[in-house]
Structure 1
Amino acid sequence: MTASSYSSGRRVPKLSLAKHLDRFLPLVGVFVLLLLWWLIAISGWVNPVLLPTPWTTIATLFQAMVTGTMAIDFGTTVLRTFGAFVTAALIGVPVGVALGSSEKLYRSVEFLIDFFRSTPASALIPMFILFFGVSDLSKVVIAGFSAFLLIVFNSAYGVIHAKQSRILAAKVMGANRWRVFKDVLLMESLPQTFIGLRSGISIALVIVIVAEMFIGTEQGLGKRIIDAQQVLNVRDMYASILVTGLLGYGLNVLFLMLEKRVIHWSGK
């Protein structure tokens, strides 16, 4: 064995080890956060009643999920979030694609889309309560409206900014307007549309949680958080906040995986 082949053979395990270690990089921030949380909790800087240790919070989370009612609250919030998101996506994607395919039509409603998209959804809650009351429908409608605006904007943006070179190439090859729309414009808009869908489900979850906090309801993570805060049940409050964050992160990861699978050709 030559010196070069020997040295290259020695480098392979190191490179392989480095690649395996890179997979754990996202966990570094998690461990740092938990360590800081634990150090602050035991330092005495904060009243222990107001800030339990992370291990106590995690134990409370598992106990509430297994033997308590957190699983019911979790399921209720998930159902409301997906109800709002699916409704917004089924309406928002076709509307966004239709608006994006006609620049004049999009410009005619651009102000309305940007105006409502820039208005905090929480500020519209009283208006939706007037129209839909304090039922579950109002929570789904509020969240769906917020998600709808994001999905429409991103879908339209994706169609408007489709690569002109591919559109021209399709026309040169004899494709009619429908084929150009279906095979070029629609496919080109998918990456931006998925950004809108991912943002839409995130904002739907946020608005559902806020609505559960301030609109009368019997179940839901938002209701659980505000109830725990009012009776100073801080362990349950932190556990509920933690599971809400995990839910949001999980939904984001799910859509990233779906995006990579559906539009694997993006950027090529």
Structure 2
Amino acid sequence: MNHVKESLQRLGKIRAYVIGLLVIMFAAGSAVTPTSVSAAVQLGTQVMPLSYGGYYVLFPGKLAPYFKSGKLMVPIRAFSSAIGADLLYDALTNSVTVSLLDRSVGKIKAGQLEAEFNGETEDSLGIAPEIKDGILFVPASPILEGLKTFRWETQFNNVNKLTLGIGARKGEEWAKPEADRALAPYPVETTAHPYPLYPCTLTQTPSGKEYKLTLGVQNTSGFVIPKGNAELELVSVDSKGNSYYQTLKGPDSLTSKAGLLSFSVSIPAEAEYVLFRSRTLRAE
């Protein structure tokens, strides 16, 4: 009798152990780990700012480019304006055509992989355009390639921040948008270091009858920036091509290496894209 009782006790202990083990395994399996949740990208994050002519080209808020399958997706209307190209909409086919000089990339349509190059050849864009928040995004590289005017390359600064450098191909003419003319080359005699600030985010919100632009930057110069020793220039361009030039002084305090800063300005109309550059000043 005692033998049976001891066997039942051992069986009860084993059962309790198995149940406890299953509870532990279930808890471990259902736990949320950091790698199982992907953080949402902040609105207006500049994942790879465009760069040409000594300044950055930024797209604010929901117009900000993003990566898809390793390709940079850009807002087609704002992107076309920023590179000085024309954009035509065809209501019959619900598609758009980007043209510059005598070259074009046409029949660009959300969800459609093929596009028409120079009105003749159909070829793949690599990734189908898509609509996000009512905005048509397209892969940047096949548009630049199709227009033939541009050369471009991925560039890294000294802290491995990405930039898409764009320029005219050898032998090609590129008439930049009128807004670009507001930014003459920095005078050497008053400039200590050009382009010390890298743009990280750019948001845009309504503010009464105006709009508020908030630019987040990082000090990527490799040195400490003294108080009040930097100058920022912004040219915001709206959908009608009107541009608004502004100069900002900063920062208000010493900025450490890789330090983050934020600046806000008011503009009279919603911006499609923004030109940005910065410099540190020579001591007088």
TM-score, reference length from structure 2: 0.24
Structure with the bigger percentage of helix: 1
Q: Relative CO higher for 1 or 2, CA cutoff 8 Å, sep ≥ 6?
A: 1
Structure with the bigger percentage of strand: 2
